[in-house]
Amino acid sequence: MARSARSSTTRLFYSLCSSTKRTPLTPQHPPPTPVAALLAGNFQLRHYAASSATARVREEKDAVWRESLEKVRNIGISAHIDSGKTTLTERVLFYTGRIHEIHEVRGKDGVGAKMDSMDLEREKGITIQSAATYCTWKDYQVNIIDTPGHVDFTIEVERALRVLDGAILVLCSVGGVQSQSITVDRQMRRYEVPRLAFINKLDRMGADPWKVLNQARAKLRHHSAAVQVPIGLEDDFKGLIDLVQSKAYYFHGSNGEKIVAEDIPADMEAIASEKRRELIEAVSEVDDKLAESFLNDEPISSADLEAAIRRATIARKFVPFFMGSAFKNKGVQTLLDGVLSYLPCPVEVSNYALDQTKDEEKVTLTGNPSGPLVALAFKLEEGRFARTAHFNIIFHQRIYEGVIRKGDFIINVNTGKKIKIPRLVRMHSNEMEDIQEAHAGQIVAVFGVDCASGDTFTDGSVKYTMTSMNVPEPVMSLAVSPVSKDSGGQFSKALNRFQKEDPTFRVGLDAESGETIISGMGELHLDIYVERIRREYKVEAQVGKPRVNFRETITKRADFDYLHKKQSGGQGQYGRVIGYVEPLEPGSGSKFEFENMLVGQTIPSNYVPAIEKGFREAANSGSLIGHPVENIRVVLTDGASHNVDSSELAFKLASIYAFRQCYTAAKPIILEPVMLVDIKVPTEFQGTVTGDINKRKGVIIGNDQEGDDSVITANVPLNMMFGYSTSLRSMTQGKGEFTMEYREHAPVSGDTQTQLVNAYKASKEN
């Protein structure tokens, strides 16, 4: 479908070009004489005919691209760990004919799911990287990104949601709305992504979809209702009743590939009609058109209900709930039908860019392939793709407007660099398919070209940038070094690559010890990179003890007045800076602000950037424990210079010393990362586990009962959570599980601050 639409677009494009060639639309020199005027009138007539023909061609062309985009869905699948995203994607690929056999995550055949292409993913049975693929379902092109559930890899979810038009939130029918479900739902809200929910694992003991639906209403504040009712549950789960079509569906065949539609079983008619009414009521609350029919007691057809659900879902006023069991091959095809029916196509979602030539004015992107090219690179990967021998870079990009073709020159608006597209590909997990061109609305990858995640590309006719994704700050660090000195080159190569690919993975140098420090989102995140350095670069690395990323901040305004003066032969150094530092207002959104309030020429303006640089550099390392100082504003009010001895260096040094001079007076404190911890244990262990959390200086904020389990929610300093999985295992005979995610940086207690400061002083003295 997409292919035929493309070729007719191309044909139209050529016919437009040839008519333009025959009839020049803009006269170069308007004829001056009466005869010439007559001819000019004739020309205008011809001009009018030509432009109306052009307009018609354009309209036709627009209709073609609209129609082809209506049949595209760009969706993501996100959820809490182990909810079954990868298992679900594997079925989607199977039913759409992209793969011919189903392999399970951690399955007995040892092959592993298609989308978990990394060895480590297959071994651990977890998704580490998001993977893109595409398939065709009922004449629609569905581009899918499967994302990891573990919070340490949250950046993968952020960047996928940034470029997708819709999402499926997978929930476990036993576990319900878990901590990470809340996080991904928040991310979907952040990027304004319309979504469907899929309650998976209906075959599991204790499956209760209605409880999960109520939890979603309470915990996620979803305005939602089920569009399906399960026929049986747990071992008895047989099929689904579709409340829109009023039909029962069963999934036969060894892989559930044969769908049989039947009438609703007689013993389920009552519940089906009650749930259909619930669905209509819920949608009517947010859709006026349906509300009118509902309030007038008019019969509501399947088509009317479907259209109303679509409008409400796309408007993000409603979340339809689907159900099934990916593992038992039930409910996946009906979910795919739901993707086509209820999630938007690229032109139904509003996207905008910022025009850099007009002071970042907002420009709406219409998704028109005949518009100027605008594409956002959202992910960079380096690896051996498609079994090639060498490392290569690809970047994944979403095209928002225009067309991109192999061999085209495009401009990276963020760097100003012009690049040629050597190879354009569509990804299917780690495999690639070469393509010649791609249109607005599509997600493709460019092979062999370097850039950074978040860069915007255009064809050069516009200077637009698109806002990038939210990048959370790393909370944990560790020192790493290669065991053998000879592998230093490979070691740096690995770190450079990972840093480029993953904005939440940072590499730095400890100024005092000279050690390489890697920082990331948690122990698992950093462990995975150390393991990848070993496997992919054959470098054994020595790893230090993990430590949390403390920060320092100030609590009071403090003045500075510092003169840096040196006159020891040759040219001297002279620079005086006067001003104050103060805490930034909470929620100001920035970590460091510098304000120049100089009046007059006490300091020539060319030295001001060096002064700002000096303060920024000083704030990289606070004097309490050497960690970055944040939430601070530096205001420069006055100073002095010398016309021979002043220099950028002199002012930079003056600023560094000025910062140190006033820091203590600004009453600095230490902030530590605090995690939201969710622990699920059999109720008999609840007391022990709660007591242990208290010992770890945690604050319990929730205690719920889920069947025979207790779910304890607490805020706990990350510093107290090292090795928690081992302790939880021993406290609960291996029956407890937990997840944690970053919540905030909060001040440490007075005695912890004293301990940390003393330990830092001692380490400096040694």
Ligand X SMILES: Nc1nc2c(ncn2[C@@H]2O[C@H](COP(=O)(O)OP(=O)(O)OP(=O)(O)O)[C@@H](O)[C@H]2O)c(=O)[nH]1
| Residues making contact with ligand X (CB under 6 A) | 79, 81-87, 104-106, 125-127, 148-150, 200-201, 203-204, 325-328
Kindly tell me which of 170 and 629 has the beta carbon lying closer to ligand X: 170
Least gap, CB of 106 to ligand X (angstroms): 6
Least gap, CB of 113 to ligand X (angstroms): 7
Residue 725, annotated ligand binder?
no
Least gap, CB of 712 to ligand X (angstroms): 21
Residue 81, annotated ligand binder?
yes
Cα dihedral angle (150, 155, 160, 161), rounded to 10 degrees? 90
Residue 642, annotated ligand binder?
no
Residue 242, annotated ligand binder?
no
Among candidates 405, 406, 407, 377, which has minimal Cα distance to 393? 377
Kindly tell me which of 185 and 401 has the beta carbon lying closer to ligand X: 185
Residue 493, annotated ligand binder?
no
Q: Which residue is nearest to ligand X (CB)?
A: 149
Kindly tell me which of 324 and 441 has the beta carbon lying closer to ligand X: 324
Strand partners, 331: none
Least gap, CB of 87 to ligand X (angstroms): 3
581: left (phi over 0), alpha (psi -120 to 50) or beta: beta
Beta-carbon count within 10 A of 277 CB? 14
Least gap, CB of 148 to ligand X (angstroms): 5
Q: How far is CA 71 from CA 65, 348, 442, 752, in A?
A: 10, 12, 11, 59
Least gap, CB of 685 to ligand X (angstroms): 23
What is the C-alpha to C-alpha distance for residues 184 and 146, in angstroms, rounded to an integer?
Answer: 13
Kindly tell me which of 108 and 545 has the beta carbon lying closer to ligand X: 108
Least gap, CB of 149 to ligand X (angstroms): 2
Among candidates 228, 209, 122, 133, which has minimal Cα distance to 171? 209
Residue 388, annotated ligand binder?
no
Residue 86, annotated ligand binder?
yes
User: Which DSSP helix (H) or strand (E) runs through 179?
Assistant: helix 179-190
Residue 168, annotated ligand binder?
no
DSSP state of 486: G
Q: What string of DSSP letters covers 107-159?
A: -TTS---TT--SHHHHHHT---S-EEEEEEETTEEEEEEE---SGGGHHHHHH
What is the C-alpha to C-alpha distance for residues 193 and 559, in angstroms, rounded to an integer?
Answer: 47
Kindly tell me which of 148 and 575 has the beta carbon lying closer to ligand X: 148
Contacts of 434 (CB under 8 A, 6+ apart): 406, 423, 424, 425
Residue 149, annotated ligand binder?
yes
Residue 559, annotated ligand binder?
no
Among candidates 211, 172, 200, 171, which has minimal Cα distance to 188? 171
Kindly tell me which of 148 and 622 has the beta carbon lying closer to ligand X: 148
Kindly tell me which of 215 and 397 has the beta carbon lying closer to ligand X: 215
Least gap, CB of 215 to ligand X (angstroms): 18
* Residue 170 tokens, joined: 């997978």
Least gap, CB of 170 to ligand X (angstroms): 7
Kindly tell me which of 128 and 241 has the beta carbon lying closer to ligand X: 128
Q: What string of DSSP letters covers 547-605?
A: EE--EEEE-S-EEEEEEEEE-SSSS-EEEEEEEEEEEPPTT-S-SEEEEE---TTSS-G
Contacts of 648 (CB under 8 A, 6+ apart): 606, 607, 609, 610
Residue 459, annotated ligand binder?
no
Among candidates 550, 475, 482, 474, which has minimal Cα distance to 516? 482
Kindly tell me which of 87 and 430 has the beta carbon lying closer to ligand X: 87
Binding-site residues from annotation for GTP: 79-86, 146-150, 200-203
Binding-site residues from annotation: 79-86, 146-150, 200-203
